[in-house]
Structure 1
Amino acid sequence: MHNNPVKAGLVKEMTDWKYSSAKNYYLEDHSVIYVSTDWSV
């Protein structure tokens, strides 16, 4: 899913896509959305 804009030729890197949550996971940039990575029970 994160790589779809790259496959479509819209960006070079998945983290370059403005609306991608890839930034949250790979760059720890929470400026687009907040993604909880605390999976503890």
Structure 2
Amino acid sequence: MTKQFTGSPEDADLRRADSLAREIFSDVADKWALLIIEAPG
């Protein structure tokens, strides 16, 4: 997926870093959710 930025290069870098952070957080949250669901109640 290619994203085009209309702002300055600094803005593009910040958005890319934010996007990467969101992806990582999403992956971690998914793994935690699976552990919580599998945990004995």
- The normalised TM-score by structure 1 is 0.24
More helix as a share of residues: 2
Higher RCO, 1 vs 2 (CA within 8 Å, ≥6 residues apart) = 1
Which one has a bigger Cα radius of gyration?
Answer: 2
